[in-house]
Protein backbone atom coordinates (compact mmCIF):
# COMPACT_ATOMS: atom_id res chain seq x y z
CA UNK A 1 0.00 0.00 0.00
CA UNK A 2 2.79 2.44 0.85
CA UNK A 3 4.39 1.85 -2.55
CA UNK A 4 1.17 3.00 -4.25
CA UNK A 5 0.89 6.37 -2.48
CA UNK A 6 3.02 8.19 -5.06
CA UNK A 7 0.14 8.56 -7.54
CA UNK A 8 -2.43 9.95 -5.10
CA UNK A 9 -1.51 13.62 -5.54
CA UNK A 10 -1.53 13.64 -9.35
CA UNK A 11 -4.29 14.53 -11.76
CA UNK A 12 -4.98 12.64 -14.99
CA UNK A 13 -4.01 14.25 -18.29
CA UNK A 14 -6.61 16.72 -19.57
CA UNK A 15 -7.23 17.15 -23.27
CA UNK A 16 -9.29 19.69 -25.16
CA UNK A 17 -7.20 22.86 -25.25
CA UNK A 18 -7.72 23.28 -29.01
CA UNK A 19 -11.50 22.80 -28.73
CA UNK A 20 -11.72 25.25 -25.82
CA UNK A 21 -9.63 27.83 -27.70
CA UNK A 22 -11.88 27.46 -30.76
CA UNK A 23 -15.04 27.91 -28.69
CA UNK A 24 -13.69 30.98 -26.86
CA UNK A 25 -12.52 32.50 -30.15
CA UNK A 26 -15.93 31.98 -31.77
CA UNK A 27 -18.01 32.92 -28.71
CA UNK A 28 -16.22 36.18 -27.96
CA UNK A 29 -15.09 37.09 -31.48
CA UNK A 30 -11.41 37.08 -30.61
CA UNK A 31 -8.82 37.16 -33.39
CA UNK A 32 -6.72 34.29 -32.04
CA UNK A 33 -6.15 32.14 -28.97
CA UNK A 34 -2.93 30.20 -28.36
CA UNK A 35 -4.24 26.91 -26.98
CA UNK A 36 -0.87 25.93 -25.53
CA UNK A 37 -0.15 29.22 -23.76
CA UNK A 38 -3.56 30.72 -23.02
CA UNK A 39 -5.84 27.78 -22.20
CA UNK A 40 -5.63 25.65 -19.08
CA UNK A 41 -8.21 22.87 -18.97
CA UNK A 42 -8.65 21.59 -15.42
CA UNK A 43 -10.20 18.51 -13.89
CA UNK A 44 -11.75 20.28 -10.93
CA UNK A 45 -12.13 23.49 -8.98
CA UNK A 46 -9.18 22.84 -6.63
CA UNK A 47 -6.80 22.50 -9.55
CA UNK A 48 -8.14 25.73 -11.09
CA UNK A 49 -7.89 27.67 -7.83
CA UNK A 50 -4.34 26.42 -7.25
CA UNK A 51 -3.33 27.48 -10.78
CA UNK A 52 -4.93 30.88 -10.24
CA UNK A 53 -3.09 31.35 -6.95
CA UNK A 54 0.23 30.48 -8.63
CA UNK A 55 -0.49 32.92 -11.46
CA UNK A 56 -1.43 35.79 -9.15
CA UNK A 57 1.50 35.26 -6.79
CA UNK A 58 3.99 34.76 -9.63
CA UNK A 59 5.09 31.35 -8.30
CA UNK A 60 6.73 28.96 -10.73
CA UNK A 61 7.85 25.37 -10.47
Tens of pLDDT, residues 6-61: 666 665 666 788 999 999 999 999 999 999 888 888 878 998 898 888 888 876 65
Residue 28: inside a domain: yes
Total domains in the fold of the chain: 1
**CB–CB of 1/7 below 8 Å?**
no
Whether pTM > 0.85 for this model: the answer is no
Range of the domain at 21: 15-57
The answer to whether position 2 is within a domain reads: no
| pLDDT the model gives residue 25 | 94
| pLDDT score recorded for residue 5 | 65
Dihedral of alpha carbons 53, 13, 44, 4, sign: negative
For residue 13, the 8-state DSSP code is P
* 44 inside domain: yes
Please report the pLDDT score of residue 1 as a whole number: 65
pLDDT at 42: 84
Amino acid sequence: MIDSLGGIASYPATFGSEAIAGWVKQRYGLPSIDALKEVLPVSGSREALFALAQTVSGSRR
